[in-house]
Amino acid sequence: MFAFDFEDKIRFTKAVYYSFKPIPLPKLFKDGTGGLGKFAPEQGCIELYDEEGACAHLSVGRSFVRDMLPMILSGERKSYNDWRTSLYWKVRNSGFQSAQAVDVGTVDLMMLDILAQRAEQPLHRFLGAEKDWAAAYKGGGSILLEDDELVEDMLRYVEEGYTTVKFKVGSDDLERDLNRIGKVRSALGGGIGIAVDANQKWDVETAFRFSELAKPYRLAWLEEPIHAHDMNGIKRLKEMGVSVPIAFGESMRLSYAYETYIEKGVDHLQPSVGRMTRMDDLIRIRDMARANNVRFSSGGRTYLNAIFGCLYSEDEMIEYHEPISKPVGEYTLHQPEERRGRFHCQTDISGNPQRMNVEKLEKDRLLDGKQVFYSV
């Protein structure tokens, strides 16, 4: 089984946390279950230093500062493997779907950043990538958009070079959802992949009915049509003969859940980079998908996702969710370059080059404060 395995010793010496005021989205965003999105979810970012002078940068929430920093600014020097193992089991009673477990994955990612800096390699190359780009599909399509706005966005995505696009369904009007799919398919023609995301909106019977009615539009996949943890519901949906490929994964935090997804009949596995408890689980899940002949893609912030997307094949895509990722990207330094449906990572900066632009956040009055923490 694939695993990142590093014995390099790390002692964390200092952390600087910048807290943000809410970063506004240019347009309200809504999916089938999540309510109105007015702001990007980023709460802050951290600079984490080791004793050799490397500094990892990453967006983190306030709970990371409260719960995780005291554990890692302990003065201890441990290997990458030992840090990850000890933290993983320290949070076990919170559950491996918890925010605390995801914070362990955050430390994992920052340690990989530090080790790549020591090796003087960009992070994707340090992890074994043989190419410097990730193939992508583009998502958006709030259910608040008027039909003509939705079609206009999807057409623009295709003009930008994307061959697969995705938008939201799961409004309170099934007929409206289906009509919108029809309008997008008519506008894009038959050569473009169209996927839709219901964000766990329906029960099994409604999901099956929707898939039957959507059959003429040849959907690339139907994402999370029912509750993401309803494994037997997924099995029942497959037994009923759902004809559209179904995708799940962004709500899960560790690879074991994806084994169950495959057993229940999921056609497309979709882990999210910023929600994993172990970063090598992304590669485990990728390999699991390959071995079982199911589709694989990953979601999360594009500027991180592209790093891991360099480890995927051309038909294993990352998601670029424009309505939320683009506003955050405007406050991000050293992003991968978007070109014709691919994201190209930088090769001249060691580690993970992306970081929040604190100066721009301060200029735009979105920087809320700064805290400095030292090792005991």
pLDDT on residue 231 = 98
Domains and CATH numbers, the chain: 9-124+354-374 (3.30.390.10), 125-344 (3.20.20.120)
- Could you tell me which of 351, 372, 300 has the C-alpha nearest to residue 125? 351
How many CA atoms within 13 Å lie on the side-chain side of 319?
28
Q: What is the pLDDT of residues 266-302, one digit of tens each?
A: 999 999 999 999 999 999 999 999 999 999 999 998 9
Secondary element (H or E) of residue 45: strand 44-50
pLDDT tens per residue, range 196-220: 999 999 999 999 999 999 999 999 9
Summarised one tens digit per residue, pLDDT across range 88-128 is: 999 999 999 999 999 999 999 999 999 999 999 999 999 99
Between β-strands 337-339 and 342-344, what pairing exists: parallel, antiparallel or unpaired? antiparallel
**Looking at residues 155-163, what average pLDDT do you find?**
98
pLDDT tier at 35, thresholds 50, 70, 90: confident
Average pLDDT over residues 323-330: 94
Residue with tokens 């347009």: 27
* CA distances in angstroms from 22 to 35, 328, 355, listed in the order given: 16, 11, 17
The partner residues of 370 in beta bridges, in order of sequence, read 18
- Whole-angstrom Cα distance, residue 339 to residue 156? 14
**pLDDT higher than 70, residue 1:** no
Give per-residue burial for 115-140: e unless 16+ CB within 10 Å, then b.
bbbbeebbbbbbbebebbbbbbbbbb
Mean pLDDT score of the chain:
96
Half-sphere exposure of 61 (CA within 13 A, CB side): 11
Rounded to an integer, the average pLDDT of 156-179 is 97
Q: How confident is the model at residue 164 (pLDDT cuts 50, 70, 90)?
A: very high
370 vs 18: CA distance, rounded Å: 5
Please tell me the predicted confidence (pLDDT) of residue 3. Answer: 83
Q: What integer is the mean pLDDT of 358-376?
A: 97
Q: What is the mean pLDDT of residues 158-167?
A: 98
pLDDT digit string (tens) for 220-244? 999 999 999 999 999 999 999 999 9
Band of the pLDDT at 175, cuts 50, 70, 90? Answer: very high
Q: Is 264 helix (H, G, I), strand (E, B) or coil?
A: helix
Is residue 14 exposed (0-12), middle (13-18) or buried (19+ Cβ within 10 Å)?
middle
* pTM of the full structure: 0.96
- Whether residue 102 contacts residue 275, with contact meaning beta carbons closer than 8 Å, is answered with yes
pLDDT tens sequence across 179-190: 999 999 999 999
